[in-house]
Chain A
Amino acid sequence: MSILQTPFLNHILPTPLVLASGIWGTTVSLLVRAASTGAGAVTAKSCGPVPRAGHVNPSCVAWEHGLINAIGLANPGADEEVGLLRQAQAELAPLGVPLIASIFAGTAAEFGDVARIVAEARPDYIEVNISCPNVSSEFGEPFAANPQSAAEVTGFVAEAVAPFAIPVIVKLAPNVPSIGRIARAVVEAGADALCAVNTMPGLLIDPESGQTILANRSGGLSGPALKPIALKAVYDARRACPEIPIIGTGGVSTGQDAIEMLMAGATAVGVGSAIYYRGGDTLSLIRDEMLAWMEAHNVPSPDEIRGLSHRETLYTSNPTGAPIPHAH
């Protein structure tokens, strides 16, 4: 029998699967639905200092190899969000599923302000979204683009939430020359954990109109196309920060994808776009497939295979079930 329990900072997640920010996380009932169908932690939609309507439609479509979205951080604003987070926290606690609040802002100092407001709801974690690619016309280059700005934001948030003792997760962008340097910089600035990655900037053209399909022109790619990019980002972040919990997010659609993400070094595994491909039961499907894979490979727990791709050994199992590391 294999188990999926996953130690993550101060919690033991019932499964390593984390509902990614911006997928379903707009209401309490959807967060609870994710938590009761296989998620080991759930992330709310990112909220900012003031309410935002988000971008005009089309704001999210499916293309050949994934999704592209420019929802544009539609959210009710931090003050409103506190109520939603409080209620979500109350309903999630009996399920043993931690709540991750997600925040964004226009300046580093403002990130601290939003964190302070959101902390009032006592979410289990605060994820700092420094990596949304879809609001650059208003906010400029994402803070995740370089180590200095990423660290500066992290510093403000860590300071703001220190009195509440809420651990801080920093969400990184895939489109940087060295994610390892940024990962190290935010950890040194006070991040307790990392989430890698947010969406990859992209753009689709409708040839019949000659126009971009998204009203925002560009958007962020997610889903299957993102998986190898996310695996490398997690692999690099794991090398740079061997001891830091990482939520590996991007293109995970099946149990095997999730296993691969663990092997790249992820502590937990974010799931978002897969819900488009597999429907409302996606999280429980992925959970069951992970268990089936682990049982077929005699892997007792996720700990056994985490970061495996970094080891100089192959992983296989003998007929009696015990895993045997093989030298090259």
Chain B
Amino acid sequence: MMEPAYATRNSQLAIRNSQFSLPQRVRILDIQTDNYRTKTFVLDASLDAYPGQFVMAWLPRFDEKPFSLVNADPVTLMITAVGPFSRLMHAKQPGDFVWLRGPFGMGYGVEGAGKRLALVGGGYGVAPLHWLARTQLGVAASVTAVIGARTGEDILYAERFAGLSSVAAVVTTEDGSRGIHGRVTDALAPLLERGEIDAICACGPHGMLAALEKLGQAHGVETQLSWEAYMRCGIGICGACEFEGKVLCMDGPVLGTTWQA
């Protein structure tokens, strides 16, 4: 029998359950150096999450900041040292602790098999994309990764993508020091023009995402773009992360269209 709409509080409060709603202390198992200012942290925890979701990482008596999940089992974060929080993370050693709550938000909604996907990462935006690529192996018809940065030194995870046998990885740099001289859009446009891409999944600076959105529209290709904003609550209520009428921590960070199967 259908329950009346007003009947049970418990059924109505089908809580958007985050496995760590309060910060949980987790041990750092391994730290890998990715480039001159970026490290990948492998943590002693696992979460039920999917690519594009994020966690809030807390260092007590310091600050709490959002980071994309690079992997959920084991939980892995990639952190570029740009300011106080990320520098303090870089000072950590294996065996030290960080506190996490999450996973939060809506990640990439890749539905249906047989898509020809372009995964586009600008700078540290590659963080969620390697995991997305792995989940699409044998599902998507093809996966092309376009990894862009200002200089060759800033390129992240190119080797990891190259390690995925069926993924075509393209590198672009604005100074031409590695890969194609130009921006990710320069590498992507010819593929779109040849009709070789069904959908674009991207993460990176807002300017890059805006350019990809236009490119996707122009070619009638669906886009799934991960936007960034300053976050406080991470749970959709405080309004700090508003972007075009959405709260990115709850409605995003990935905004776009979900593909029909």
Residues of A within 8 A of B (CB): 22-27, 29-30, 32-33, 45, 54, 56-63, 67, 69, 71, 74, 204, 206, 208-209, 211, 213, 215, 224, 253-257, 259, 272-273, 275-280, 285, 288-290, 292-293, 296
Contacts of A57 in B (CB 8 A): 56, 58, 63-65, 231-232
Q: Output the nearest chain A residue to B24 by Cβ-Cβ distance.
A: A208
Tell whether, in the assembled complex, residue B247 and residue A206 are in contact, meaning their CB atoms are under 8 Å apart: no
Contacts of A257 in B (CB 8 A): 9
In the assembled complex, the Cα of A26 lies from the Cα of B61 at a distance in Å of 27
Tell whether, in the assembled complex, residue A276 and residue B5 are in contact, meaning their CB atoms are under 8 Å apart: no
Tell whether, in the assembled complex, residue A256 and residue B237 are in contact, meaning their CB atoms are under 8 Å apart: no
Residues of B within 8 A of A (CB): 4-6, 9, 12-16, 18, 21-23, 25, 56, 58, 60-61, 63-65, 97, 99, 101, 231-240, 242, 244-245, 247, 250-251
Tell whether, in the assembled complex, residue A30 and residue B5 are in contact, meaning their CB atoms are under 8 Å apart: no
Contacts of A33 in B (CB 8 A): 245
Q: Output the nearest chain A residue to B6 by Cβ-Cβ distance.
A: A293
Q: Is the interface of B mostly helix, strand, loop or mixed?
A: loop
> Given A62-B18, A253-B13, A292-B5, A29 and B242 touching (CB < 8 A)?
yes
A-B complex: 6 closest residue pairs judged by Cβ atoms? A26-B239, A60-B233, A57-B64, A29-B245, A292-B5, A293-B6
In the assembled complex, the Cα of A292 lies from the Cα of B6 at a distance in Å of 7
Tell whether, in the assembled complex, residue A279 and residue B236 are in contact, meaning their CB atoms are under 8 Å apart: yes
With both chains docked as a complex, state the minimum distance between the C-beta of A91 and any C-beta of chain B, in angstroms: 11
Tell whether, in the assembled complex, residue A280 and residue B237 are in contact, meaning their CB atoms are under 8 Å apart: no
> Given A61-B101, A289-B12, A296 and B239 touching (CB < 8 A)?
no
Tell whether, in the assembled complex, residue A61 and residue B22 are in contact, meaning their CB atoms are under 8 Å apart: yes
Contacts of B239 in A (CB 8 A): 22-27, 30, 45
Q: Output the nearest chain A residue to B239 by Cβ-Cβ distance.
A: A26
Q: Output the nearest chain A residue to B58 by Cβ-Cβ distance.
A: A58
> Given A206-B99, A273-B237, A27 and B242 touching (CB < 8 A)?
yes
Other-chain residue from B22, B25, B233, B250 in contact with A280 (beta carbon distance below 8 A): B250
Contacts of B15 in A (CB 8 A): 277
Q: How many residue pairs between the two chains, A and B, have CB atoms under 8 Å in the bound complex?
A: 139
Contacts of B231 in A (CB 8 A): 57
Other-chain residue from A26, A32, A224 in contact with B238 (beta carbon distance below 8 A): A26
Tell whether, in the assembled complex, residue B232 and residue A24 are in contact, meaning their CB atoms are under 8 Å apart: no
Contacts of A213 in B (CB 8 A): 22-23, 58
In the assembled complex, the Cα of A63 lies from the Cα of B247 at a distance in Å of 21
Tell whether, in the assembled complex, residue B238 and residue A69 are in contact, meaning their CB atoms are under 8 Å apart: yes
Contacts of B25 in A (CB 8 A): 206, 208-209
Tell whether, in the assembled complex, residue B99 and residue A209 are in contact, meaning their CB atoms are under 8 Å apart: yes
* 14 A-B contact pairs sorted by A residue (CB < 8 Å): A30-B242, A59-B238, A60-B233, A62-B235, A63-B21, A209-B25, A211-B61, A215-B64, A254-B12, A256-B9, A276-B233, A280-B236, A280-B250, A296-B4
Tell whether, in the assembled complex, residue B16 and residue A276 are in contact, meaning their CB atoms are under 8 Å apart: yes
Tell whether, in the assembled complex, residue B60 and residue A211 are in contact, meaning their CB atoms are under 8 Å apart: yes
Tell whether, in the assembled complex, residue B232 and residue A71 are in contact, meaning their CB atoms are under 8 Å apart: yes
> Given A29-B245, A288-B5, A279 and B237 touching (CB < 8 A)?
no
Q: Output the nearest chain B residue to A291 by Cβ-Cβ distance.
A: B5
Q: Output the nearest chain A residue to B244 by Cβ-Cβ distance.
A: A29
In the assembled complex, the Cα of A22 lies from the Cα of B232 at a distance in Å of 12
With both chains docked as a complex, state the minimum distance between the C-beta of B29 and any C-beta of chain A, in angstroms: 17
With both chains docked as a complex, state the minimum distance between the C-beta of A285 and any C-beta of chain B, in angstroms: 8
Q: Output the nearest chain B residue to A290 by Cβ-Cβ distance.
A: B6
With both chains docked as a complex, state the minimum distance between the C-beta of B118 and any C-beta of chain A, in angstroms: 29
Contacts of A278 in B (CB 8 A): 12-14, 16
A23, A24, A61, A289 — most chain B CB neighbours (10 Å): A61
Tell whether, in the assembled complex, residue A58 and residue B56 are in contact, meaning their CB atoms are under 8 Å apart: yes
B18, B58, B99, B238 — most chain A CB neighbours (10 Å): B238
A256, A257, A276 — most chain B CB neighbours (10 Å): A276
Contacts of A61 in B (CB 8 A): 21-23, 101, 233, 235
Contacts of B242 in A (CB 8 A): 24, 26-27, 29-30
Tell whether, in the assembled complex, residue A289 and residue B23 are in contact, meaning their CB atoms are under 8 Å apart: no
> Given A209-B99, A276-B237, A62 and B5 touching (CB < 8 A)?
no
Tell whether, in the assembled complex, residue B235 and residue A60 are in contact, meaning their CB atoms are under 8 Å apart: yes
With both chains docked as a complex, state the minimum distance between the C-beta of A283 and any C-beta of chain B, in angstroms: 12
Tell whether, in the assembled complex, residue A276 and residue B22 are in contact, meaning their CB atoms are under 8 Å apart: no
With both chains docked as a complex, state the minimum distance between the C-beta of B68 and any C-beta of chain A, in angstroms: 17
Tell whether, in the assembled complex, residue A254 and residue B9 are in contact, meaning their CB atoms are under 8 Å apart: yes
Q: Output the nearest chain B residue to A212 by Cβ-Cβ distance.
A: B60
5 extra interface residue pairs, beta carbon distance < 8 Å, beyond A24-B247, A256-B9, A257-B9? A27-B239, A58-B23, A60-B234, A211-B61, A275-B236
With both chains docked as a complex, state the minimum distance between the C-beta of B258 and any C-beta of chain A, in angstroms: 15
> Given A26-B238, A60-B238, A209-B99, A54 and B232 touching (CB < 8 A)?
yes
In the assembled complex, the Cα of A229 lies from the Cα of B244 at a distance in Å of 36
In the assembled complex, the Cα of A323 lies from the Cα of B17 at a distance in Å of 40
In the assembled complex, the Cα of A174 lies from the Cα of B61 at a distance in Å of 29
In the assembled complex, the Cα of A105 lies from the Cα of B3 at a distance in Å of 47
Tell whether, in the assembled complex, residue A23 and residue B23 are in contact, meaning their CB atoms are under 8 Å apart: no
In the assembled complex, the Cα of A22 lies from the Cα of B239 at a distance in Å of 8
With both chains docked as a complex, state the minimum distance between the C-beta of B171 and any C-beta of chain A, in angstroms: 35
In the assembled complex, the Cα of A74 lies from the Cα of B65 at a distance in Å of 17
Tell whether, in the assembled complex, residue A276 and residue B64 are in contact, meaning their CB atoms are under 8 Å apart: no
Tell whether, in the assembled complex, residue A277 and residue B16 are in contact, meaning their CB atoms are under 8 Å apart: yes
Tell whether, in the assembled complex, residue B238 and residue A22 are in contact, meaning their CB atoms are under 8 Å apart: yes
Other-chain residue from A32, A60, A255 in contact with B237 (beta carbon distance below 8 A): A60
